[in-house]
Structure 1
């Protein structure tokens, strides 16, 4: 076997393990990942599975990296063609809500589930979840700032507050979709996001997105 073929086969096996682990973790959480279960599902030895990562925590981090990349390609990447500002944000949140509802075979938004699972567990996995969510919040804030600069939103807009509210709607939608199986949750979430971005008076409002000083 040539070295090049060996490297390619190793990478393919690692990818297959991560894909199987992502499916399992989506159903049972990152803490629910067991080497034994993966080995059985993949018809591999336990040593063969863990040998690609070194330990269980490294496997969890690799699965999380894969989930983050999937989120990037599924949500922000699909909003690239929209006009920067409120239009792009609306498109991005639309894609996120669709992702939650469809699950793409992985049961909702993996990042939202991982955030709930590790919010009180210090360590590298929690740090990685925080980094991913911070990157998303920075993306949202950047688009809101663009909307303010383009006069779509009031100059008095509290960008941090709107970022908090938008993310809160998305996380509530994920819970309603996954836990409550509420078929109306996606539509409710879209209405809430539109209200936050456009205000109760719609696009012509001079107060849209403005945070009261009181």
Structure 2
């Protein structure tokens, strides 16, 4: 005769396994939807995103998509968050493997430019297009965009401050101003490379970055130390 406790344990294990499989399938479906949502946003902008449009794109029912995102606004915010997650993975996290100071600042910039040239010149940047769409519209989507962009710029500012601490930049270097100027280069290269299709844009942004670094660099860094 089977042990009732053993049967109960098997039943519980089977139920747990089924729950895990359902959860994994749900996570996989959500990942597919977010990937499609990012593609749709690159074509139509965040404002062009809807439950219906995404459902049609992936061949799902509206109710199926709605099960993962309770509203159009929730979907838009999830797309912003996923875009930032990928940005952070490609741009910020690899730079943490580089020694702190100016080398890390350079790595963050180079990773940023690599993402621009390899992806965003073709597909656009949600941070930029989203800012145009939601700049004067308060609400959760606006806040999600602003939060993501500020998180990144704060990380860049922290790296610049560390470069000052390491003696790679002048003690009086204005970290906020340096980040402002670097961010301005990125915005400019999007306009020049994507809209104007200027073939010299990428070379010019590198030259612009070197001028910014040279202006804020400490005497030691300017002569080759710490870079």
The alignment yields a C-alpha RMSD, in angstroms, of 2.2
TM-score by length of 2: 0.83
Is the 1:107–1:178 Cα contact (8 Å) retained in structure 2? no
Aligned to 1:87: 103
Does 1:204 find its partner at 2:222? yes
Does 1:41 find its partner at 2:77? no
Structure 2: how far apart are the matches of 1:58 and 1:115? 18
Q: Deviations over 1:11-48 (max 9, x none)?
A: 21111111101110012111111222221221111111
Does 1:56 find its partner at 2:56? no
Aligned to 2:3: none
Secondary structure in 2 aligned to 1:75?
Answer: helix
Is the 1:27–1:106 Cα contact (8 Å) retained in structure 2? no
Does 1:141 find its partner at 2:157? yes
Cα deviation, residue 118, structure 1: 1.7
Cα deviation, residue 105, structure 1: 9.8
TM-score by length of 1: 0.87
Structure 2: how far apart are the matches of 1:12 and 1:55? 19
Is the 1:102–1:108 Cα contact (8 Å) retained in structure 2? no
Aligned to 2:134: 118
Is the 1:22–1:106 Cα contact (8 Å) retained in structure 2? no
Q: Which runs of 5+ in 2 are unaligned?
A: 1-14
| Structure 1 pair 200–184 and aligned structure 2 pair: CA distance change class (3 A) | farther
Please say which structure displays the higher CA radius of gyration. Answer: 2
Does 1:182 find its partner at 2:198? yes
Cα deviation, residue 106, structure 1: 7.0
Cα deviation, residue 81, structure 1: 2.4
Structure 2: how far apart are the matches of 1:157 and 1:66? 34
Q: Which runs of 5+ in 1 are unaligned?
A: 206-214
Aligned with 1:172 (options 176, 183, 188): 188
Aligned with 1:151 (options 151, 167, 170): 167
Q: Which structure has the highest helix share of the two?
A: 2
